[in-house]
């Protein structure tokens, strides 16, 4: 039997073990196949995604989960990069650092509410979805989850991010930075800047979470110690 490489390599084991091939000698030499516990494929995928989502949300939502993780750190908004450049030249690196810290703190705060949303989406995976993922790329499970939940997460995350922005005072730090920049820039004939911080943090927080989930997917695929439930051990061993 051909084995699939990638995240779901081990799922092949459960597929083969879930089929009882009862060959019976009949007049026309037909072979009857009895399918046993094929739903475990879907259950295994759901469990793997749940483990990955849980670990990802926990890592992202802890203090410095975004801020000190270079892979998901949220930088100064690109559409306001002139603000950063101008203020750095004006010796205001401290204010820039405080603002970037507040962006990442907001994402960390919002990530605390991510897990229930992700889990609810994961539970909707069907057996046919599972088989499609099995035949897909090495990160097919993460891509599936992102496709199914991306827009829903944006809608759900926006008010969470708005609340987080208020809690960690992103607006306060942005106003300090923007006020200083606009004062310098307007004097030279430039335009004021006012990026949509809610959308920016929301998009970056979700992007960061899926990067973390993709890493967890790789861990479960490659590292036996990451298979923390009996079903995962059964599937991926």
Exposure letters 173-199 (e unless 16+ CB within 10 A, then b):
bbebbbebbbebbeeeeeeebeeebbe
The pLDDT of residue 61 is above 70: yes
What does pTM read for this prediction?
0.72
pLDDT single digits (tens) 86-142: 888 888 888 889 889 999 999 998 888 888 888 888 888 877 887 777 677 778 888
d(CA 149, CA 147): 6
Neighbouring CB atoms inside 10 A of 204's CB total 21
Question: Domain limits of the chain?
Answer: 41-232
DSSP 9-34: TTHHHHHHHTEEEE----TT---EEE
Percentage of the chain exceeding pLDDT 70: 72
pLDDT single digits (tens) 143-175: 888 888 888 888 888 888 888 888 888 888 888
- What pLDDT is stored for residue 65 in this prediction? 97
């Amino acid at each position: 039997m051909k084995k699939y490489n990638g995240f779901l390599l081990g799922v092949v084991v459960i597929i083969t073990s879930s089929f009882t091939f009862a060959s019976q000698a009949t007049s026309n030499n037909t072979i009857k196949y009895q399918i046993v516990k094929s739903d475990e494929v879907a259950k295994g995928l759901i469990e793997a995604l749940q483990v990955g989502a849980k670990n990802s949300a926990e890592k992202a939502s802890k203090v410095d989960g975004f801020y000190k993780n270079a892979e998901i750190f949220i930088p100064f908004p690109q559409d306001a990069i002139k603000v950063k450049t101008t203020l750095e030249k004006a010796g205001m690196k401290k204010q820039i650092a405080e603002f970037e810290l507040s962006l990442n703190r907001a994402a960390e705060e919002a990530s605390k509410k991510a897990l229930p949303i992700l889990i609810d989406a994961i539970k909707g995976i069907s057996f046919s979805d599972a088989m499609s993922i099995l035949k897909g790329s090495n990160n097919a499970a993460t891509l599936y989850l992102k496709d199914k939940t991306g827009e829903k997460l944006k809608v759900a995350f926006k008010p969470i991010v708005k609340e987080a922005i208020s809690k960690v005072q992103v607006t306060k730090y942005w106003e300090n930075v923007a006020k200083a920049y606009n004062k310098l820039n307007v004097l030279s004939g430039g335009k004021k800047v006012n990026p949509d911080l809610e959308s920016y943090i929301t998009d970056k927080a979700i992007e960061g979470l899926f990067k973390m989930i993709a890493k967890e997917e790789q861990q479960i695929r490659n590292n036996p110690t990451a298979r923390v439930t009996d079903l995962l051990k059964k599937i991926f061993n």
